[in-house]
Amino acid sequence: MAFRETGCTVLGLCPDRGHSLLVTSAAERCFKYSGFDPLGSIRHAIQEGQPDIIIPCDDTAVRHLHELYAVVKNSTDSLQKKIARLLERSMGSPDSYQITPARYQLMALARDLGLTVPDTARIREPGDLDAFQHKHPSPGF
């Protein structure tokens, strides 16, 4: 909603049933996301909506956008090249795409760069979560 309030045109991509974006005024237009053809539905929304930037709202969207980039990055087709440039502008350097879906690695990289990040641990089995909770007690646990 903040984007719309500043004068931006906001378009969305979401399932056509039950998604909260469909009942708010946050998006001027919503395109249908297909779980059976996610890359096709993203490509269609880009072609129809002509966005200046894409802001993925969850990890699955990031993964799909990375997959789409892998498909279009070396294309000689002008539309595919335009999509590749849009994805690079929206999500940064493709060199980082391999690490951004791995949340633990991303948090570790941010910490190594001196950014403040919440306490994070890689949880592989229930005992790991117990150890983390013991070391970092909080009202949420």
* pLDDT at 141 > cutoff 70: no
For the chain, what is the mean pLDDT? Answer: 87
Degrees, nearest 5: CA angle 19-25-29? 75
Residues 134 and 141: their CA atoms lie apart, in Å, by 10
Where along the chain do its domains lie?
A: 2-101, 102-141
Residues 53 and 71: their CA atoms lie apart, in Å, by 19
Other CB atoms within 10 A of residue 82 CB: 15
pLDDT for the residue 88 = 95
Q: 50-97, pLDDT tens digit by residue?
A: 999 999 888 888 889 999 999 999 999 999 999 999 999 998 888 877
Q: 110-128, pLDDT tens digit by residue?
A: 889 999 988 888 888 888 8
The predicted model scores a pTM of 0.71
Residues 10 and 49: their CA atoms lie apart, in Å, by 9
Please say whether the dihedral angle defined by the alpha carbons of residues 84, 89, 91 and 97, taken in this order, is positive or negative. positive
